[in-house]
Amino acid sequence: MKHRNITRILCLVLGSLAINSAAFAHGTEKHGKTATADLQMKKLHEMMPMFSVTSAKLEAALEKGDVAEAETEAGKIIAAVPDLKKSKPHKNIKQRKRFVELATKLDKAVISTVELAKKGDVAGAKAAFKQVEEACAECHVKFRD
């Protein structure tokens, strides 16, 4: 009788451990992604349309010579770059260092664009904006699905 109880308890403990270990091993992961990675990917997906719309508004502001609007739109991009740098790209994930370099290139190009516009050099700002577009295009070619 004592052996049966010990065997039952042992089976319950081992069964419970086997079931829970699968759950513990899976943790917050879903198909190879952690909850944190999923959240960061969601942020990345939210950022991309914002970058597109804001870049278009920045370009339009430069065309109009509206420095205040250009500064506002540039500020939105600059504020989002730190989250962009934390993100992982869709493809070529092992080249994340290059991804961060391109985000830095984008940041510098936007800052340069707005600084030139604030100095009244709208032609220079438009030229600098081309570097913004190039940084976006280069990143999309390399890292986007």
Structure tokens that stand for 143 in this block: 């890292």
Instruction: Identify the band that residue 33 occupies on the pLDDT scale cut at 50, 70 and 90.
Output: low
Most confident of 13-22, 82-91, 134-143: 134-143
Confidence band, pLDDT 50/70/90 cuts, at residue 25 = very low
Query: Which pLDDT band holds residue 71 (cuts at 50, 70, 90)?
Result: very high
Total-model pTM: 0.72
Residue 87 pLDDT: 87
Is the pLDDT at 16 greater than 50, yes or no? Answer: no
For 81, list phi and psi in degrees, rounded to 5: -60, -40
User: Residues 6 or more apart from 91 whose CB is under 8 A from it?
Assistant: 143, 144, 145
Encode pLDDT of 104-129 as tens digits.
Answer: 999 999 999 999 999 999 999 999 99
C-alpha–C-alpha distance, residues 105 and 134, integer Å: 9
Residues 6+ apart with CB under 8 A from 129: 58, 59, 62, 109, 113
The whole-number average pLDDT for the span 15-43 is 53
**Average pLDDT for 19-47:** 58
Question: Higher model confidence: residue 58 or residue 42?
Answer: 58
Looking at the predicted structure, is the pLDDT value of residue 36 above 80? no
